[in-house]
Amino acid sequence: MARAPKPPSYLNDIATSQWKAKSKILNEREDLNAADWNNLELYCVNYAIYRKAVANLDIRGFSIVNSQGSESRNPSLSEKTDAEKS
Protein backbone atom coordinates (compact mmCIF):
# COMPACT_ATOMS: atom_id res chain seq x y z
CA MET A 1 0.00 0.00 0.00
CA ALA A 2 1.29 3.45 -0.88
CA ARG A 3 0.88 6.21 1.66
CA ALA A 4 -0.81 9.39 0.44
CA PRO A 5 1.52 12.33 -0.09
CA LYS A 6 0.94 15.65 1.62
CA PRO A 7 -1.99 17.60 0.20
CA PRO A 8 -1.13 19.70 -2.86
CA SER A 9 -0.18 23.22 -1.79
CA TYR A 10 -2.84 24.87 -3.96
CA LEU A 11 -5.74 23.23 -2.10
CA ASN A 12 -7.78 25.60 0.04
CA ASP A 13 -8.51 24.90 3.71
CA ILE A 14 -11.68 22.89 3.04
CA ALA A 15 -10.02 20.72 0.39
CA THR A 16 -6.93 20.21 2.55
CA SER A 17 -9.09 19.14 5.48
CA GLN A 18 -10.89 16.62 3.27
CA TRP A 19 -7.56 15.35 1.90
CA LYS A 20 -6.26 14.68 5.40
CA ALA A 21 -9.49 13.08 6.62
CA LYS A 22 -10.08 10.86 3.60
CA SER A 23 -6.45 9.78 3.17
CA LYS A 24 -6.36 8.81 6.86
CA ILE A 25 -9.48 6.66 6.46
CA LEU A 26 -8.16 5.06 3.28
CA ASN A 27 -4.79 4.36 4.92
CA GLU A 28 -6.50 2.79 7.93
CA ARG A 29 -8.53 0.58 5.60
CA GLU A 30 -5.36 -0.17 3.64
CA ASP A 31 -7.34 0.87 0.61
CA LEU A 32 -5.14 3.55 -0.94
CA ASN A 33 -2.66 3.08 -3.76
CA ALA A 34 -0.69 5.48 -5.92
CA ALA A 35 -3.38 5.47 -8.62
CA ASP A 36 -5.91 6.86 -6.14
CA TRP A 37 -4.12 10.13 -5.37
CA ASN A 38 -5.42 11.98 -8.42
CA ASN A 39 -8.96 10.85 -7.66
CA LEU A 40 -8.58 11.96 -4.05
CA GLU A 41 -7.32 15.34 -5.24
CA LEU A 42 -10.25 15.73 -7.65
CA TYR A 43 -12.72 14.76 -4.92
CA CYS A 44 -11.24 17.29 -2.49
CA VAL A 45 -11.30 20.12 -5.02
CA ASN A 46 -14.90 19.41 -5.99
CA TYR A 47 -15.95 19.06 -2.36
CA ALA A 48 -14.50 22.51 -1.63
CA ILE A 49 -16.34 23.98 -4.64
CA TYR A 50 -19.56 22.35 -3.45
CA ARG A 51 -19.17 23.73 0.09
CA LYS A 52 -18.41 27.24 -1.19
CA ALA A 53 -21.47 27.15 -3.46
CA VAL A 54 -23.74 25.90 -0.65
CA ALA A 55 -22.47 28.65 1.66
CA ASN A 56 -23.18 31.25 -1.03
CA LEU A 57 -26.69 29.88 -1.56
CA ASP A 58 -27.29 30.00 2.19
CA ILE A 59 -26.29 33.68 2.28
CA ARG A 60 -27.68 34.98 -1.02
CA GLY A 61 -30.49 32.55 -1.76
CA PHE A 62 -31.42 30.81 -4.99
CA SER A 63 -31.97 34.02 -6.93
CA ILE A 64 -29.96 37.22 -7.05
CA VAL A 65 -30.44 40.70 -8.46
CA ASN A 66 -28.35 41.02 -11.61
CA SER A 67 -26.60 44.13 -12.96
CA GLN A 68 -29.77 45.17 -14.83
CA GLY A 69 -31.72 45.13 -11.58
CA SER A 70 -33.82 42.08 -12.37
CA GLU A 71 -33.86 38.79 -10.53
CA SER A 72 -31.88 35.87 -11.95
CA ARG A 73 -30.71 32.45 -10.89
CA ASN A 74 -27.78 32.42 -8.46
CA PRO A 75 -24.74 31.05 -10.38
CA SER A 76 -23.83 29.06 -7.28
CA LEU A 77 -26.67 26.67 -8.13
CA SER A 78 -24.79 25.61 -11.26
CA GLU A 79 -21.49 25.43 -9.38
CA LYS A 80 -23.09 23.18 -6.76
CA THR A 81 -24.66 20.93 -9.38
CA ASP A 82 -21.42 20.66 -11.36
CA ALA A 83 -19.44 19.78 -8.23
CA GLU A 84 -21.99 17.09 -7.33
CA LYS A 85 -21.54 15.45 -10.73
CA SER A 86 -17.76 15.24 -10.51
Q: Which of 44, 60, 56, 54 is nearest to 81 (CA)?
A: 54
Q: What are phi and psi of 70, to 5 degrees?
A: -100, 165
The pLDDT of residue 32: 73
Tally of CB atoms within 10 A around 40: 18
Residue 53 has pLDDT above 60, yes or no: yes
> Mean per-residue pLDDT for 38-54?
95
Helix (H) or strand (E) holding 14: helix 13-28
Q: Which of 49, 75, 79 is nearest to 62 (CA)?
A: 75
Report the distance separating Cα 75 and Cα 65, nearest Å. 11
Residue 3 has pLDDT above 70, yes or no: no
Share above pLDDT 70 across residues of the chain, in percent, rounded to a whole number: 95
Reported confidence tier of residue 1, pLDDT bands at 50, 70, 90: low
> Mean per-residue pLDDT for 35-50?
93
